Structure 1
Amino acid sequence: MRKPSPGREARHHLSFRRRRNLPEAYRKNNLRFCKICNHYINYVNNYHIVLTLLGGEANGGRPVTPDLRQEANREDRPLVDLLLERLEHLILEGNLKAGDRLKEKTLAAQWDVSRGPIREACRILQEAGLVEVVPNRGVIVRRVKLQDVLHEYDVRAALWRLGGREAARNLSHRQMDGLDRLIAKMDAAIGDNDIDAYFRLNTQFHDAIASATGNRPFIVLQRRLVLQSHLFRSQSLATESGFRERNDDHRLMLEAFRKGDAETAGAVSEEHVLRGKARFIASLEKAGALPANHDSLS
């Protein structure tokens, strides 16, 4: 007599046991494959969006992204925030190049939204220095000059001396424990060579410190300067490096915060940015993309 098949719960249990008993190497390869699939999906979506923005047609002119209004309602976020996030990603990932136009009408049709939120998102991007308005051309992606980026590193360093001091006075024990967990996660991301995860965690780390200062002008200015340096990197041959050294700096910052040593926290935070500037210059030198007169620029 044929043996009856197991019910849903039994099948789920068997499936879980099989997955649990899989070799560790297989599970890691499977996870890596899933990440590749996600990157491919993001690439395809970005391709369709960029193709439409540059005047081509994608998917028969129909939107290729989910309904952003539904997503905004589901996440309880303003629609402008989601549009800003999408546009910022396209620009900083290099999908939209310096000089490319952001066409209001095309974007509104692509994302199935009105032109008002698109216009507001472009205005915020202009304030952040990622785009500019050019007569007879409209909104275009801004080209960042090397001299500006090097000066911005110096401004950020001075800002973070202030930010480090204020954070040391304001951070709670719970917030510092949160920073400690972020440092541990960054170590894990470095070990897995997951650079995307590292940068997400690094942003969370610095945003948490900036937020703790309670200094709104500092928060806005440092965020704007970071975006502009990222924009230059997307338009240049600069590469990222020194991840373990960066995280060692994070530990020094946290140590000063825990001691409540405002002056040391400020000095370490400033030095962290200046070391980033030195790594940035070294990466351009290595790529042969540094002008011969770069000493006069910095």
Structure 2
Amino acid sequence: MADRKRQTTIRTVRELLFTQPLARLYSSPCVGRAGQTSDTQEPFAEVIAEELLRIQVAQLLGSVGISPQRAMPYRQGHDGTVSTPTTPRSATSERRLAIALYNYSRDHGGDCFGLLGQPIDYEVPLQAQRGAGIGEIDLLTQVKEESPGIENARGVYVVELKRKREKSPESLLRSVLQIATYYQQLDREKLLRDYGLYGDPSGYGTHEIRKAVLVFRGSAQEREIQAIKKGSLPNLRRLIEDLGVHLFVIDADDTVVDQGTGPYRPVLQGGGAGVRSVKRVLL
């Protein structure tokens, strides 16, 4: 999309909706594009969100089916370790960071993640079989206790994690669409059963599984969140609300190092001070 004009952006979105499955919309370069239109100086995310609201994409996503019938469980027996060491390249991946956050929770207690709950797994596969070309949920968290002033706080979050990137940052819009799409592809009853949460006496079987995006403080996505709170991105705000996605900001060290020499255990470099806060954003 070399042409950066407003109408060209809208036309590109419409073409995408006609030429590819809705379940792949989030992966389009157009949706993840940063910056502004050249003619109206509007953020691309705001223009695209306006068009997605017009076509009622939240309702359309409801038609995205669950991944094909699966025998493979969602729970894969992860233990917080990997077979290969963390390298300068892999240290920048959301995959290693998700494992490090999972390990941080195990080492320092789940309450350090606040209303997001305690990470109970990572890299939860959506595909019915390996190599099916469908993604993975970065983190699965569980809120075990009710929180003061928060009605029905207990539940389960499927979380899209985005680390801080100064070069080629992904848009908040893409992350929101991605987790909303993944949510639709989940067999939610099976997910709860696989983790022993379906029909649990504490009520998890009756609570809706929630969607969340977790971004880092100081990231491009957090700056977009601040712009939303200031009223600068009303279409994006409405779209996030329509899709039912919760936003969280984590203030933490995102540098990943290894413990052990094989299997390797990715952890946050900051150790016990690695996670300073995790806050839910109320738009």
| Greater percentage in helix | 1
Task: State the TM-score bracket (shorter-chain normalisation).
Answer: under 0.3
Structure scoring higher RCO (CA < 8 A, sep ≥ 6) equals 2
TM-score normalized by structure 2?
A: 0.26
Q: TM-score, normalised by structure 1?
A: 0.25
